[in-house]
Structure formats: structure tokens, C-alpha cells
Structure 1
Amino acid sequence: MKQLKNISARVFGLITDEDGAVTVDWIVLTAAIVMLGMASMFIVAGNIPGLSSKVSSVVANQPIGS
């Protein structure tokens, strides 16, 4: 009977413990930061070909020497 009370006390302690909630918050926050980074990467990566062609045309039209 004493073991059953000990087990129920441990289970109740796990249920009321809030340390896991902090871990979940950090995981969600980290996932949000990673997703923002990926979204910005896709936006930048989508504009690189157009920007490189503009830079190429400007460099090609520059005179060499004075």
C-alpha cells in the first residue's frame, strides 16, 4: 500500500511540475525563429537571379580604363 501511495505521489508530482512547460516554450520559440529565417532565405534567394543580371549589365557597360 505504501508503494501505491509513493507511485501516486510521483505521478501527481509529474503532472503538477512546470519544468516541461518551459522546455515546450523554448522549442516553440526556436521553431518560430527557424521558420522566420527560412522564410527570409526564400525571399532573398528568389530575388538573387534578377539582382545578379542587373549587376552583370551594369558591370558590362562600364568602360575599361580611363
Structure 2
Amino acid sequence: QFTADEDGAVTVDWVVLTAAIVGLGIAVLTSVSGGTTGLASKISSKLNTMTIMNHGG
């Protein structure tokens, strides 16, 4: 009866699936973070070089 019991197998499946999803999320964040940092730096430098013009009034 002990060897035929499959209650723990479902738990192991969920743990493995959850770990895979978390690992995939970390991999995506790692690969995207470099690009977003570079883009934010370019936007910041562009905004710092712009001038505000006052028309009228």
C-alpha cells in the first residue's frame, strides 16, 4: 500500500512546476534589466539636454 500511494507525487510535481516558473521569471528579468537600464540612461541624458521655450506672455 505504501508503494502505491501517490499523494506525495502531486506535491512534488507542483514544487517542480513552481520552481521552473520562478526560474524562468528570474531569467527574463535578468535579460531585460540591462536593456531597460540603458534605455533609462539614454532618456535621462536626452531630457537633460532639452531646453524649455516660453512663447508669449
TM, length-normalised to structure 1 = 0.68
1:47 CA displacement: 1.6
1:65 CA displacement: 4.5
Aligned counterpart for 1:52 among listed residues 40, 53, 56: 40
Partner residue of 1:32?
A: 20
- Gaps (5+ residues) in structure 2? none
Greater percentage in helix: 1
- Gaps (5+ residues) in structure 1? 1-12
Task: Give the length in aligned residue pairs.
Answer: 54
1:59 CA displacement: 0.7
Percentage of identical aligned residues? 54
Runs of 4+ in 1 over 3 A off after TM superposition: none
Alignment RMSD, CA only? 1.5
Output the CA distance in 1 between the equivalents of 2:28 and 2:53.
39
| Secondary structure class of the residue paired with 1:14 | coil
